[in-house]
Amino acid sequence: MSLKGKVAIVTGAGSGIGRAIAIRLARDEAAIAVLDLNGDGAAETAKLITDAGGTALALTVDCSNEAAIKEAAATIRAKFGPITILVNNAGIATFVPYMDITEDQWDQMIRINLKGPHLCCREVIPDMLAAGWGRIINITSSSVQSGSFAQAHYVSSKGGLLGLTKALALEYAPTGITVNMVPPGFIDTPLLRSAPIDAEAFAKTLPMKRIGQPEDIAGACAYLASEEAGYVTGQTISTNGGRYMGSA
C-alpha cells in the first residue's frame, strides 16, 4: 500500500503506539512529521525512520496548543508540502476516582485528548480539501465501549473524539477526505504497564490470549491511510484481539 508522495502528521509519535504508526507509514513511503511534546522521543523516532531509508522530520510540539500546531504545520509544508494524512494519537490517561477528579484534571484531559485533535484537524483539512484527498485517523480507546474504572475523565474525552470522528466523516464525505478511528484495546505500552492491573493475567482472559502490540494498531492505521480505504469513512477498526465485538 504505497503512500509515496503523501505527507503525514503523527502526533504523540515519540514512543509507543505513535512511534509504531509513524514507522509503518514511513515504510509505506509517506513523508512523516513526528510530533511530540517529548522532543528527544520525537527525534529518536525520526532517526529510526531515516536510518531505515525513510523520510521524517521531528518537531517538539504541544499538540493541544493552536499556535504551536500552526507553527509546526508551516514548517512541515515548507519541507515536505501539503499535509494530507493526519493521525491524532497524542493523548494522556490517568486513573482517578470520579469524585476525586479536580476541575483542572478534567479540563486538562479534554484539552489534550479532544481539543488537540480538533485543532489539528482544523489546521490540515484545508490542505486536504485543496488536494481533493485526505485521511484523518483518530486513536480513540476501547474504554469507550466498556467504560474504565477510575477513568471517567479519560473515557469522556475519548468518547468525545469518537463523536468528532463521526461528525467530520459525515461532513467531509463528498470531498475525498475520510475520517475513521482505531480504538486500541490492551496494547503493550508504558501506559499499560503502569496501570493498576496484572497485565499478563488479564491477557489470558482475552479471546486471543495475548497482549496486543503497537504494530497491531499501526497496521490498522496503514490500511485506513491507504488508497484501498477510499470508500471507508466514519468507521471503527476495533484492534483489540476480539475483546469487544461492538461497533462503538
Cell of 74: 508551516
Annotated active-site residue in 154, 172, 223, 231: 154
What single-letter amino acid sits at 20?
A
What single-letter amino acid sits at 110?
I
Q: Establish whether 172 is a catalytic residue.
A: no
Q: What residues act catalytically?
A: 154
